[in-house]
Amino acid sequence: MKSSHFKRIDYKIKNNQSLNVEDKSLKTTNINILLNRVRIERKNSTKKKIFFFISIISILSLIGIVVLGN
């Protein structure tokens, strides 16, 4: 959702003068983009964790089979 209001910025200058500047190029970020980015990062981190745990379990199982198999 983009804001159509102009943001007024007051700058203090020497001798207690003020300079008023209207910022016509407001940069807004869509909140849905940010939420989607968080969801994707969370999804990727859970995939990495699952892959790590499965690999650890398979390595331990393989070592157990080799050691106990002989």
Number of domains the chain contains: 1
Instruction: Note whether residue 1 is domain-resident.
Output: no
Whether residue 14 is contained in a domain is answered as yes
In a domain, 58, yes or no: yes
Instruction: Report the C-alpha gap between 41 and 60 in whole angstroms.
Output: 29
**Cβ atoms of residues 25 and 2 within 8 Å:** no
pLDDT of residue 11: 53
Q: Which residue range is the domain that position 35 belongs to?
A: 7-69
Summarize the confidence of residues 4-9 as an average pLDDT.
Answer: 56
In-domain check, residue 34? yes
**Would residue 39 count as lying in a domain?**
yes
From the list 70, 54, 2, the residue with the least C-alpha distance to 30 is 2
Mean pLDDT value across the chain: 78
Tokens linked to 15: 């001798």
Mean pLDDT to the nearest integer, 2-30: 57
pLDDT digits (tens, 9 = 90+) for 17-66: 555 555 556 566 788 888 999 999 999 999 999 999 999 999 999 999 99
Asked whether the beta carbons of 7 and 26 are under 8 A apart, the reply is: yes
Q: Pick from 30, 24, 34, 32: which is nearest to 4 by CA?
A: 24
What is the predicted pLDDT for the residue at 43?
96
Indicate whether 2 belongs to any domain: no
